[in-house]
Chains A and B, each alone.
Chain A
Amino acid sequence: MNKRKYIIDTDTASDDAVALVMALRSDLDILAITCTAGNLSLAKTTRNARLSCKFADTYVPPIYAGSDRPLVKTLVVGENVHGSDGLGDMFYPEPDIKLQEGHAVDAILEIARTQDDVGLITLGPLTNVAMAILLDPLAMRKITHIIAMGGQYRMTNGCTANAEFNIWVDGEAAKIVLESGIPITMVPLDVCYGEAEITADDRNTLRSLKTARGDFFVDCNRHLLAYNQRSYAKDIISMPDPTAMAVAIDPSIVTSYVDVYTQIELRSSLSYGQLIYDFYNRHKKIPNVRLVTKIDAQKFKQLVFKTAE
């Protein structure tokens, strides 16, 4: 059987890093890693993507730098969540992996034009993907589907009260992607918290493996741990991007979903970046999003543990 082919677009900070390691140690064929600004500046996300490949210790797909800012908005980063280096301020040494020449958007388009059956996994703001859609919508229609970590539907205060960070950072880009016609599976924050949270016991499990990767997963997320303790009074590491990656690696992790027509609020100052789900089908529109509403959290954690071995 042919391996399933994906491009990963990422604003690599701590939970992205875990997701990248998972991808490179899975059965997926990762054709390229394209980086965008988001959690951190573009310089930092590209560095962290290269570092993640080092920790994955399998193969190194071409890594491209892409957008250094959102389409319209000013960039707001999340260093308060992930640390100033995005990896828990562990300041890992510079990896001996080079960036590819060329822009991430061109790399995405080139793959879309020349290869079939390619999917896209997005772990950050959707700027690169939106730009690719704007530049060559026909080529992008060949992308079979997008699995996106993004949005929230009942959990409040992910980024703002009603918006999740990846969508909020570049709401305009998200709108372009939502309206592109590419089938989107959305993994919202809601399913990345709760049962999927990496508890103290889970962290002990990772440490007890005594592997570089097990330690990396815990160490690089130590700022995220502190953030969850501060913000939500929870002694956990939340793993949104690994959850989305797990959905790509093993679709059976999704145990419940809703196909729903989804819009985005861009004009309200209070609710900018909020995804507006038409659960009752008021607009009689064809659903553009498959919203994941429940995952098999144990299966997800086992996948994280197995990757760290």
Chain B
Amino acid sequence: MRKIIIDTDTGSDDAIALLMALSDKNTEVLALTTVFGNVSLKQATRNALISCEVAGVSVPVYPGMDRPLIRDRIEAIHVHGSDGLGDAGILDPKLKAENVHAVTALIELISKHNDLELITLGPLTNVALAMRKAPDILKRLKKIICMGGAQLGYAAETEVAEFNVLADPEAAKIVFEFGVPLIMVPLEVCLNGDGRHGAETILDELDLDSIKAINTPKSEFLLKISSSLLKFHEIYYGDVGLELPDPCAVAVALRPELILNVYPANVTVDTSGSLSYGQTVVNTKGGTVLEDQIYVANVSIVSALDGKGFKTMIKEALR
């Protein structure tokens, strides 16, 4: 049985990702830790609890950081709605969050379990702080599957940065350089190669119809909370499409066989505070002035995912 912790800034695609993980029979989700990001910490925690209720499981939810390490907070309510769940009038959860800080919980859980995997769906603030507070314990993590970053030329939040990394570049730098095997699921895996719509993993009108036909509380929930993301897509591209970065990361973690292409690279994060702030700087090999540089690959970059298998996985989770 795969044992995981998910660190999440629960907005609408995080919620779908949580449903997938919490519904997977071969996966034990030990805890959810929440962080600011798409929405405020408070809202993210509320949404994580709601996701547990919809999934019909009770998993401890630990609230963590409500701000980035250094920079000012940014959020993405223009993408996910002001409540992060598409402003669909989802009621407050009955479940309550734990009264322990996420950073404390992460260290505690990792110290008690071997072969633990961490999936991160938001800014890396909690994880970075845990790494600085208890490096020896965090080194015991088997791997980190991180939705975050972008390869050169594909970013979408600024010209060069992806949201989760941009929301706390300093934390991301700590995590990327820490030394635990890190699998990076960049944004463009869930968009297409041009950074525009049409990717294999984007749910189209037909997919949404077939999800509607599943007709369970989970499928209904997915459709309800996705309205804001769908609207965002329509404004940009003029058609129906649901882009699901966080579910892609869960798919990579739980169904590695869906990975169509992955390559090792040296990745660090630009913390200059300038135009390239928050950029994941991907080094492979060569370069006029870097010819003699020896790169230690610290990250595996997933650059293509089996869209059909991914969509099947989502639909199975909703039944």
Contact = CB atoms under 8 A, between A and B. Distances in A.
B70 interface: no
A270 B152 CA distance: 13
B296 interface: no
A162 B159 contact: no
A156 B287 CA distance: 8
B154 A270 contact: no
Contacts of B284: 156-157
A64 interface: no
Contacts of B313: none
Contact of A274 (B151, B195, B276, B288): B276
Interface stretch (A127-135, A205-213, A261-269): A261-269
B291 interface: yes
Count class of interface residues, chain A: 35 or more
Contacts of A78: 288-289
Interface in B141-189: 151-154, 156, 158-160
A257 interface: no
Contact of A157 (B195, B273, B279, B283): B283
Nearest to B265: A156
Contact of A276 (B268, B275, B285, B291): B275
B282 interface: yes
B312 interface: no
Given A268-B275, A269-B272, A154 B153 contact: yes
A268 B270 contact: yes
Interface of B is mostly: loop
A282 B161 CA distance: 13
A266 B274 CA distance: 8
A78 B290 CA distance: 11
Contacts of A233: 285
A156 B151 CA distance: 9
A47 to B, nearest CB: 21
A162 B152 contact: yes
Contacts of B159: 263, 276-280, 282
Interface of B: 151-154, 156, 158-160, 195, 268, 270, 272-277, 279, 281-291
For the complex of A and B, the 9 pairs showing the least CB-CB separation, nearest first, are: A231-B286, A268-B272, A154-B153, A271-B276, A267-B274, A157-B287, A159-B288, A161-B283, A265-B275
21 contacts: A80-B291, A157-B283, A157-B284, A158-B287, A158-B288, A159-B287, A160-B290, A161-B287, A161-B290, A162-B152, A162-B281, A165-B289, A230-B286, A230-B291, A231-B287, A265-B274, A268-B274, A268-B277, A271-B274, A276-B159, A276-B160
